[in-house]
Amino acid sequence: MRIVPKLFVFLFVALMVTTAFGQDVYRNHMLIEVYPESEARLQALYQFHQLDIIPGPSRDIPHIAAYLEDLELLQEEGYAYEIIHENLEKFYANRLGGRLDDMGGYHTYSEIVTFLDQIHADHPTITTAKFSVGQSLEGREIWGIKLSDNPDLDENEPEVFFNSLIHAREPMGMEVLLYFMDYLTDNYGDSADAIDIIDNREIWFIPCMNPDGYVYNETTNPGGGGMWRKNRRNNGDGEWGVDLNRNWGAYWGYDDNGSSPYTWSETYRGTAAFSEPETDNVSQFILSRNFVSGCDNHTHGEWLLVPYGSSYFGGDGYTDDHDTFMMVVDSMAQLIYEVNGNWYTAGPPWETLHYNVNGGSFDWEYDSVGMFSISPELGTSFWPSSGDILPSCQEWLPANIFFARIAGSLVPPPYRIAYNGQCQSEWSGDGDGTTEPDEGLELTVTIENTGTDLLINLHGTLATTDPYAVVIQSESDWPTLANDETGENTTDFQVSVSAGCPATYFIPLTLHMTADGGLDTTLNLTATVGVTMLADDVESGAGEWTTGGTGDLWHISTRRADSPTHSWYCGNEVSGEHNNNMNCWLLSDTLILPADASLSWDHWYDLESGYDYGYVEMDTGTGWTAVGSSVNGVSGGWIHEEEDLGITCNGTMAQIRFRMYSDVYVTEEGWYIDDISVTGPPGKITDLVISADGNDIHLYWQASSNAGGYSIRRSLEPFGTFTEIGTVIADSLHFEHTNGAGSDVRAFYCVVATD
């Protein structure tokens, strides 16, 4: 192993620094193998936006396509590494044959155009003429073609979209698609697969989505091996290019982890979603069609990636159709393996690659269009040798055939099911004056109609075997929509929870649904009841808090405290400064919160103004959202904060975190957190006693925490509407009512604590 000494790197940089970094001058790369030595160090590596990190021999040993200044950064940060190739482009070109005029055997942009013209000339009855979906930034056409038995007609057949070269240095994905087109057209009439696909599908191809970047690689490295990735946007600051696979509309710019705000980064996302004509034109083309599925080819790493790009999209990083996605890509992996014995790993990027992506094409295609889109990472190199092109194309042929055929089974169902099992009604009394009130749980189930062949007359039956729960309203029908009307249909069920139920409890529920349209399915749901609060003065240890993230420095400290002696501190205990390149958090345990809960905390901070930030965030299962404003600069002392968490229903499960982010330069003292609490509206009423004296009814109860007063309510039905008949202030725990209906009329009463 050859680890470059620090002295060598500094001298090397000093000798070569005359090359201007920001100019539009192509610079060759070194291939560096990095040894992070820990998971934390690996994740920290991904936070350096200037580094072009690419797949290495394993997940734990990445490669970097590096410039000289990248070596200096690795040295400063203490990373061990080895130089694999001192000139990566030269290595690729030599492996491709060293010729200077044919891109090493890969089709050039002009040769792709010629290929599309020729395949239509050879097979005019099953292909369209090439068509443009729009122009690139520099005015080149983004060409497409369609294969089908009636190519110029818009038939009612599943439509599949294949594309490649959104990243300009990834030509193998394009070669695989050209080979697939050749196979389908040359074997139509002879191969059962080709006949089935051409006759029963509409297959659309865009083999080069980034023509400007690809032509730039041809210009700078005509023998192949060019490492330019982005498009050719002049960013106006001496830096060039936008990463077109960070420029799509779904989750664009969600954070600086899954994409970069810096123009010099290889994952620079642009100034806005669809700011680049390449993504804007292709997205408009997609919206003009009715694609069931899409295959967005990339290289390299031997992965089959599915949405979502980030671990917190969709709540847990998985789509509602994750099982279907995995069925598709697992099948493709097996078909690939059967050809050459190469195994592709399948899953979302955050799970397989262990880094997040936002603004990617397949997230937008799934969330905004409803396509089953995947992103294969083909092969083990950006520019495999010329002799590897044909074997790779052959290896991928069965998988592409499968992907085109399975589209007939991927038509999304005309409905999606959502339920709210975390909302509960207010406490209401039994009426017998002897026990604690029962708790009524309202379970709302929603059918979202996403198609035009809608299910009507949908009926549901709810049941539970839980000892603390009884289903009161066990059957319900959903309201129907017109057959071609999309929207949401909602129905409610009601569950009674007995007074002995623990403070925090999960109730298993089973919902069986049937419909005239043939649906007959059973869903296993879980409802939550109870309320957990948080009150931490940081004097009793970590408790239910955990810490993590890049460069984690969160710990309990006595350097500063609001009351009395301890606080959480994100910084170094000895030096009294935080570190660079941090994105770490202090995370609470899962809380089950009431409606209208609020979070309060005290903090002291000293962070570089405009560059380092502290964030307070909450996740209720749909991703992290900000609580209040971020902090930046110097607080000047301890500050008390309180924010409404926006909880709209009781029993909402949530986590709270304090997250600190720092850039690569100035360090200050850091961030201290103390006296953290979550408070809610008044708790439940206990020990309700009802006594009667003729027509006079007396109600007595025990005090409720946080109560500002009490509302007394009455109904003639145990599960009817309870109408308020009076209020009392918090200091009074008694209410008298005259039952004007007469003593022979049964009535039910409840007392509700109010703010």
Q: How many CA atoms lie within 13 A of 55 on its CB side?
A: 17
CB atoms within 10 A of CB 583: 20
User: Distance between CA 630 and CA 348 in Å, rounded?
Assistant: 30
Residue 8 has pLDDT above 80, yes or no: no
The sign of the CA dihedral 369, 372, 375, 378 is negative
Highest-scoring range by mean pLDDT, 55-59, 134-138, 156-160: 134-138
Residue 669: left if φ>0, alpha if ψ -120 to 50, beta else—which one?
alpha
Out of 214-223, 235-244, 657-666, 731-740, least confident range: 731-740
Residue 618 to residues 184, 287, 346, 597, 641, Cα–Cα distance (Å) = 51, 34, 30, 12, 15
Radius of gyration of the chain (CA): 31
User: Distance between CA 479 and CA 530 in Å, rounded?
Assistant: 31
User: Distance between CA 532 and CA 530 in Å, rounded?
Assistant: 7
Q: Give the pLDDT score at 421.
A: 44
Quick one: what percent of the chain has pLDDT higher than 70?
82
**494's tokens:** 């009601």
Alpha carbon distance, N-terminus to C-terminus of the chain: 68
Amino acid at 379: G
Structure confidence by residue, pLDDT tens digits, 582-606: 999 999 987 877 767 889 999 999 9
Query: Which domains are delineated in the chain?
Result: 6-86 (3.30.70.340), 103-380+394-409 (3.40.630.10), 419-530 (2.60.40.10), 534-679 (2.60.120.200), 686-754 (2.60.40.10)
Structure confidence by residue, pLDDT tens digits, 604-648: 999 998 889 999 999 876 678 889 888 999 998 999 998 988 876
3 state SS of 7: helix
The contacts of residue 280 (CB under 8 Å, 6+ apart) are 134, 274
Q: Give the pLDDT score at 19.
A: 31
User: Distance between CA 252 and CA 373 in Å, rounded?
Assistant: 17
What are the φ and ψ backbone dihedral angles of 347, each rounded to 5 degrees?
A: 150, 180
More confident residue, 387 or 571: 571
**566's tokens:** 């301890």
Q: Give the pLDDT score at 423.
A: 38
Residue 155 has pLDDT above 80, yes or no: yes
3 state SS of 617: strand
Peptide bond into 564 cis (omega under 30): yes
Structure confidence by residue, pLDDT tens digits, 393-410: 999 999 999 999 998 887
More confident residue, 511 or 413: 511
Structure confidence by residue, pLDDT tens digits, 305-364: 999 998 878 778 888 888 889 989 999 999 999 998 989 999 999 888 878 899 999 998
Q: Catalytic one among 218, 239, 278, 377?
A: 377
**Which DSSP helix (H) or strand (E) runs through 146?**
strand 141-147
Q: Would you say 34 and 61 are in contact if contact means Cβ atoms under 8 Å apart?
A: yes
577 noted as active-site residue: no
Residue 16 has pLDDT above 90, yes or no: no
CA 361, distance to chain mean position in Å, is: 13
Q: Give the pLDDT score at 506.
A: 66
> Which of the 8 DSSP states describes residue 240?
B
User: Distance between CA 660 and CA 419 in Å, rounded?
Assistant: 34
> Which of the 8 DSSP states describes residue 365?
I
